[in-house]
Amino acid sequence: MRYPTEDDPELMEAIRRYVTPGKGAVRRYLRLLGGQFARRDEPDKATFLRALVDDAHQITDHELGVLLDCEWRSRITAAWLIGISRRHQFRERLRTMLLASELVYAGQGYCFALARLGTERDAEILIAYLDHYLPRDDCQYDQPWALGALLHIDERRGTNHAARFLQSDGLWQQWAQGRFDPEGRKKRIDELSSYVDKGPDLA
């Protein structure tokens, strides 16, 4: 893993340009966390979204790779940019990072990106994650985001992969125990995906 230090100017420049751009205390990665930038009470949504979408299409694959080598702030930002621009070439790297679950918060970005890519392969990756982590009641990681992303893909592809997790005696019920609403997380991903597709005029 690369760490943001002055000894790594390439990484520092990528962070400055894409992870913490602009002025003010609320950095981009914080507004991406949980998709907070799309809330109704968020200021300057149109400006934020315009810059985010522009950067998603301008950032190079190399720069995305640099950010994915870093800590969670850079990773969640890179995942959002990958998802917005639908860069399928990063699918398998996202798979490896999601299943590893090394860092907090970054996984929700991976799930958003896989939902945006939206193929059967992306569904398989989310299923593998849920099969691995739902039986572990000691791990409260990104299971709600993963199931929401899988429901999102199911709806768009006309598939039903999430059904077995949601059975009354299924893995989801055993793990969540009523603490999380997967349909609510799916609707959140629906809204965020629609938001970035429609662009600043929606803000």
Q: Which domain holds residue 60?
A: 9-202
32 domain-assigned: yes
Q: Per-residue pLDDT for 21 more than 60?
A: yes
Q: Is residue 42 part of a domain?
A: yes
> Which pLDDT score, from 0 to 100, does residue 37 have?
87
Task: Write the pLDDT tens digit of every residue in 139-158.
Answer: 889 999 999 999 999 999 99
Q: What is the CATH number of the domain that holds 51?
A: 1.25.10
66 located within any domain? yes
The tally of domains found in the chain comes to 1
Spatial distance between the Cα atoms of 71 and 91, rounded to a whole number of angstroms: 19
124 lies in some domain: yes
Cβ atoms 4, 71 nearer than 8 A: yes
On the question of pLDDT at 199 being above 60, the answer is yes
Tokens standing for 176?
A: 């969540």
Task: With respect to residue 158, please indicate whether it lies within any of the assigned structural domains.
Answer: yes
Examine residue 1 and state whether it is found in any structural domain, yes or no: no
Give a yes or no: residue 48 inside a domain.
Answer: yes
Instruction: Return the closest-CA partner of residue 59 out of 70, 67, 71.
Output: 67
The model's pTM: 0.94
d(CA 25, CA 192): 23
Answer whether residue 138 is part of any domain.
Answer: yes
